[in-house]
Chain A
């Protein structure tokens, strides 16, 4: 019997030896020289854990999710960026100016910017990029209002629109405004795997579902940047083991959307910093109702559901009390927020409404679709129980992401849980709410609630074309009012538990400045936010 103790012991010893065999190897140079502790230090390496891999890195052909932006923006930069106050500011563009009617925008390209392959950034490259975006089936829908692009001079591109479009520059802050060199446009497949751009870092290595490594671009056009020598993005899909890896010291920072992590790491202020997304950049968590099918075509049922939903309970159980209840697509701290009119928690009123409908049409029952992950399911189960108390019989159906999205856009659902509305400008939600995008059940409809409301749509049109901020604010107030009245969405909360948690040696997350000196928007995107990496640095131990 004593004999078999040996192999086990050996294994453990071997494991320990290996574990102690030194620094995790890196394929490139180690941390460089450090500078005084007072300011940003040059050099160093950052390991940053993401929740998912990108579906390719080509902004023209590959759909970008939040994690894609984290990785890609280290290499490829957009024409426009969002400042801390939520306004747009030129980035690769030197300026972006509308004409008086807002139906023509002039993009002046910043001079002195080069791609890492040596080619200088010029107007015709920008034009070629925008044309490729307009032609791409991926992004064509966004650029529908655009008539044509025109090269006014070697460094200037004019964008002619079919209609006034006030918020147009915001669309240049995302993948539709990201600029790649001509070589990438010519060979999109290579560009999907090996991104090239003007950014602070250069592509080094990509192992799908594992890691994406970038190294410092020594010829970056912004002087003195970036600070880091190398960043390794690690793909760790399981949120629990991702947090554990941060704790174990395997990574320097993680993206997370779990309230447990915010509470836990937030309490360890000396060791970790927690950065949460806020404001317009935050998506809303809500129940999406199909207003084209019974019983949810009856506004009384929809209102009853809102009345039956105790948002505070959801927040206290599912979010650890960390979020704010939502009553519309924009949060209270947003300049576009208009208060009032949302059907608040009132179980008695909910039950009464349901009774009323029941008397007319019989029992109210429908199916609530969810993706099967436990976190989503918990929200669904909570809603089911709350709505059951109001007299609604809800059955739950699980469908995977692909199935769910397909059902949502084709209208093959009654209700589902949804997360959306994180655009920087309210106009970003145009296609999701406008009646022009509401198609009958069975055909593809971007307005997934299929709510056709004239006043709502007119207000969205006004917001799109009117340059006057006050008029726009009024228009979006109408939007909020109509949404609250017609309840195509049962809002729960502003999902601002999306955060980046970093070890305290990582400095500068959410503190970057834009090329012209304005403070940039700290964190963008949902459910896990992203941020630029050029101005992040690590203190040396």
Chain B
């Protein structure tokens, strides 16, 4: 079991490498800048030592075929190679990025013209171009930068255009456009920062490619004026001596390799600082002894969560996404989890399922029919996921793999878990689709997700979740991304399936109207904690916690009068890395008093309900608050 000492951000672990890399770049840059004043032999002084002699005190990197000091040549070469690398990448970026942005953002005519020119440029033989420039303008640093930079432009245009295209379709960009924000502003604020990530990643590869390409130009005699050394040129010169004097080719090669690697490392880390996403294929780390759990009884119910915690170790500190949540669930019941986005509802589901990113640390226990799920290894967990626990996510578009047919995806769990044959699985999948109300299932099986409507897709994901006959169905905001009319159909379907299959359902939603209608029990979450719990009808009719009330007031009622005004909850949810000292809701709470800010209220049980509030709402208070 992997353990991690808390409070130590992951960035530190890689600190040494980063510092070494930065140090190396600094050293190379400094050497390149100070090449003339450093106490080095002249880079073009022949016979400074015996030709092809190995490393010695006088010549730390040895001498080349003409007896020139290799160290001095490598240092002077840094100037040209770095200049070429940085210059060409910047030039390619300076010309290519605006064109790519324009083409990707404007589309239509601009795109057509830019891409046509780009096609011509890309189809044009690079060598003819390089030769022509060098023959006319002469071989010098500037022209080599121009040649390599210009040759890189088409790739930059393509890259930036592609990234812009995908960004331009994102909701926030579309929204900004609809709201009439000026294009320049949208580009700058919304698109450029997102395009910058792939671009910077490409830039470092591009730098390496350019530095090596300069060597290829040198191979063809199209690089800078001799005897000015460049790394590529030095390697080319030295390769004939590879057998007799390997240091001549090794020295520039190693220096070049280290530099290219360092640039990449630094770039990678810089990006990691601004971008904390991580992939989720790693097993969850379970905190066992670190947070000693209070002794608790294992109840005779289908699903039981005890003091479930999920913490993230981030560079900003420990984030308590789920902080001590407990509940039980019986077969045939629906538990609703409500709260604003960021309150930890989705994380609670993932925590139960063990689907957390590698940086997450989980504590507490989850029992499925009395069986401790948190003690299971990832492989053991997989035998439960699917057959016993089914899951439906919010956005049916992103929940389905766009490049696999519906049939493959629906049949996959059947084949993996139930070991069905291809044909058998396919038939079962068709029955499943029919059972979730999809007409002509055989045809839909052959379809790709994008060919289906949103409601259809959600039905497909539900069918997938149900394929192995789970005992518990987790539905994480299953209707949020759907049309209002479809929402109701989907919820109705979930309810019917629950009845037919005698499952339990965990329904996560921020939409209380949904929950009120279909849930038996509800837990309200705020800042990773349960703030209120109880039978759905009770909780919604008489909320005790002000947060629950605020949520109810913010929810639209389909049945309510048309003039009903929605109240927005003032303020923002707290920063989970730095939560307020007392009640987390206190800063936004209309009823908050001194104690609320000082002391966190415990979750108090009362008549089958529970709430965490020092001053729970009574009927009178409720009317005053209104």
Task: Give me the interface of A with B, judged by CB distance under 8 Å.
Answer: 239-240, 258, 260, 264, 313, 316-318, 370-375, 377-378, 380-382, 384-386, 395-400, 403
6 closest Cβ contacts across the A-B interface? A372-B221, A381-B227, A385-B46, A396-B226, A317-B51, A374-B237
What is the CA–CA distance of A400 and B236 in the complex, to the nearest angstrom?
A: 17
Cβ–Cβ contact A384 & B239, under 8 A: no
Contact of B227 among A258, A372, A396 (CB under 8 A): A396
Tell yes or no: B582 within 8 A of A by CB: no
Q: Given that A317-B66, A378-B237 are known contacts, is A385 also in contact with B45, CB under 8 Å in the complex?
A: yes
What is the CA–CA distance of A317 and B52 in the complex, to the nearest angstrom?
A: 9
Q: Given that A396-B225, A398-B225 are known contacts, is A381 also in contact with B240, CB under 8 Å in the complex?
A: no
Tell yes or no: B222 within 8 A of A by CB: yes
What is the CA–CA distance of A317 and B53 in the complex, to the nearest angstrom?
A: 12
Tell yes or no: B47 within 8 A of A by CB: yes
List chain A residues, Cβ under 8 A from B243.
260, 264
What is the CA–CA distance of A386 and B135 in the complex, to the nearest angstrom?
A: 27
Cβ–Cβ contact B221 & A381, under 8 A: no
Tell yes or no: B67 within 8 A of A by CB: yes
What is the CA–CA distance of A263 and B220 in the complex, to the nearest angstrom?
A: 27
What is the CA–CA distance of A403 and B138 in the complex, to the nearest angstrom?
A: 13
Supply 7 further A-B pairs (C-beta < 8 A) apart from A372-B222, A373-B221, A384-B44.
A317-B67, A318-B66, A372-B220, A372-B221, A378-B66, A396-B226, A396-B227
List chain A residues, Cβ under 8 A from B242.
240
Cβ–Cβ contact A380 & B226, under 8 A: yes
Task: Pick 20 A–B contacts, CB within 8 A, sort by A.
Answer: A239-B240, A240-B240, A258-B240, A260-B241, A317-B46, A317-B51, A317-B66, A373-B221, A374-B236, A377-B226, A381-B66, A381-B227, A385-B45, A386-B46, A396-B225, A396-B227, A397-B138, A398-B134, A398-B226, A400-B135
Q: Given that A370-B226, A396-B226, A398-B139 are known contacts, is A317 also in contact with B239, CB under 8 Å in the complex?
A: no
List chain B residues, Cβ under 8 A from A317.
46-47, 51, 65-67
Tell yes or no: B244 within 8 A of A by CB: yes
Q: Given that A370-B226, A372-B220, A398-B221 are known contacts, is A240 also in contact with B239, CB under 8 Å in the complex?
A: yes
What is the CA–CA distance of A384 and B45 in the complex, to the nearest angstrom?
A: 10
List chain B residues, Cβ under 8 A from A372.
218, 220-222
List chain A residues, Cβ under 8 A from B227.
381, 384-385, 396
Cβ–Cβ contact A313 & B47, under 8 A: yes
What is the CA–CA distance of A397 and B222 in the complex, to the nearest angstrom?
A: 11
What is the CA–CA distance of A371 and B242 in the complex, to the nearest angstrom?
A: 23
Residues 65-79 (chain B) with a chain A CB within 8 angstroms: 65-67
Q: Given that A313-B47, A317-B51 are known contacts, is A395 also in contact with B225, CB under 8 Å in the complex?
A: yes
List chain A residues, Cβ under 8 A from B134.
398
What is the CA–CA distance of A400 and B218 in the complex, to the nearest angstrom?
A: 12
What is the CA–CA distance of A318 and B65 in the complex, to the nearest angstrom?
A: 7
What is the CA–CA distance of A317 and B48 in the complex, to the nearest angstrom?
A: 12
Q: Which of the listed residues A260, A370, A371, A386 has the most CB atoms from chain B within 10 Å of its own CB?
A: A260
Instruction: Write the nearest CB–CB distance from A88 to chain B, whole angstroms.
Output: 38
Instruction: Write the nearest CB–CB distance from A237 to chain B, whole angstroms.
Output: 12
List chain A residues, Cβ under 8 A from B46.
313, 317, 381-382, 385-386
List chain A residues, Cβ under 8 A from B135.
399-400, 403
Instruction: Write the nearest CB–CB distance from A378 to chain B, whole angstroms.
Output: 6
Cβ–Cβ contact A374 & B240, under 8 A: yes
Cβ–Cβ contact B66 & A382, under 8 A: yes
Q: Produce 1/0 per residue, B132-147, CB < 8 A to A.
A: 0011001100000000
What is the CA–CA distance of A397 and B220 in the complex, to the nearest angstrom?
A: 14
Residue of A nearest to B51 (CB): A317
Cβ–Cβ contact A381 & B220, under 8 A: no
What is the CA–CA distance of A258 and B222 in the complex, to the nearest angstrom?
A: 23
Residue of B nearest to A383 (CB): B46
What is the CA–CA distance of A157 and B208 in the complex, to the nearest angstrom?
A: 67
Instruction: Write the nearest CB–CB distance from A372 to chain B, whole angstroms.
Output: 2
List chain A residues, Cβ under 8 A from B138.
397
Residues 35-52 (chain B) with a chain A CB within 8 angstroms: 44-47, 51
Cβ–Cβ contact B225 & A385, under 8 A: no
Contact of B244 among A260, A316, A374 (CB under 8 A): A260
Instruction: Write the nearest CB–CB distance from B31 to chain A, whole angstroms.
Output: 22
List chain A residues, Cβ under 8 A from B47.
313, 317
What is the CA–CA distance of A375 and B65 in the complex, to the nearest angstrom?
A: 10
What is the CA–CA distance of A258 and B46 in the complex, to the nearest angstrom?
A: 20
Q: Produce 1/0 per residue, B113-145, CB < 8 A to A.
A: 000000000000000000100110011000000
Instruction: Write the nearest CB–CB distance from A538 to chain B, whole angstroms.
Output: 27
Instruction: Write the nearest CB–CB distance from B568 to chain A, whole angstroms.
Output: 51
Residue of B nearest to A401 (CB): B221
Instruction: Write the nearest CB–CB distance from A254 to chain B, whole angstroms.
Output: 15
Instruction: Write the nearest CB–CB distance from A265 to chain B, whole angstroms.
Output: 12
What is the CA–CA distance of A318 and B46 in the complex, to the nearest angstrom?
A: 12
Cβ–Cβ contact A371 & B221, under 8 A: yes
List chain B residues, Cβ under 8 A from A395.
225
Q: Which of the listed residues A380, A395, A399 has the most CB atoms from chain B within 10 Å of its own CB?
A: A399
List chain A residues, Cβ under 8 A from B131.
400
Residues 17-59 (chain B) with a chain A CB within 8 angstroms: 44-47, 51
List chain B residues, Cβ under 8 A from A313.
46-47
What is the CA–CA distance of A464 and B46 in the complex, to the nearest angstrom?
A: 43
What is the CA–CA distance of A380 and B227 in the complex, to the nearest angstrom?
A: 9
Residue of A nearest to B224 (CB): A398
Cβ–Cβ contact B240 & A260, under 8 A: yes
List chain B residues, Cβ under 8 A from A386.
46
